[in-house]
Amino acid sequence: MEKLGDNSKERVEAAELWSKKNLSPEAYNTFSSIASTADGVKAIEEIMKLTKDSPIPTTPTQVSVTPNQDDLKSMLQDPRYWDSNKRDPAYVKRVTELYEKAYEKNNN
């Protein structure tokens, strides 16, 4: 913690308080372990600066990305899609949804 300078105790405390105020209990526990190192405290301070003027979203962020044909073909090559021993139902569902979306778009 010497890397944090003379006010290391205050910096760690500020990161701790911010984490407790802004994060879920699970994320707070993770951040607490991160804050046990000087580099972890610095990382939290960067996040604190980034969110200073805009609060952290409380709902999941939806990102709508339309994959191209190469992306879709690549997804089909993933063992989570084709290998019965490694199959991931959520991944298969996502690939199916993306194919349906792409097919819909091409037919409209």
Count up the domains in the chain and report the number: 2
For residues 83-97, give the mean pLDDT.
Answer: 90
Two structure tokens written together for 25:
């209990």
Write the pLDDT tens digit of every residue in 46-89. Answer: 888 887 776 666 666 666 667 788 888 888 999 899 999 999 99
Would 76 be classed as within a structural domain? Answer: yes
Q: How far is CA 77 from CA 13, 36, 72, 73, 89, in A?
A: 47, 41, 9, 7, 15
Verify that 6 and 41 share a domain, yes or no: yes
Residue 20 lies in a domain: yes
Residue 61 pLDDT:
61
- According to the model, what pLDDT value does residue 9 have? 84
Q: Does a structural domain hold residue 15? A: yes
Mean pLDDT of the chain: 81
Range of the domain at 76: 69-107
How far apart CA 64 and CA 16 sit, in angstroms, is 34
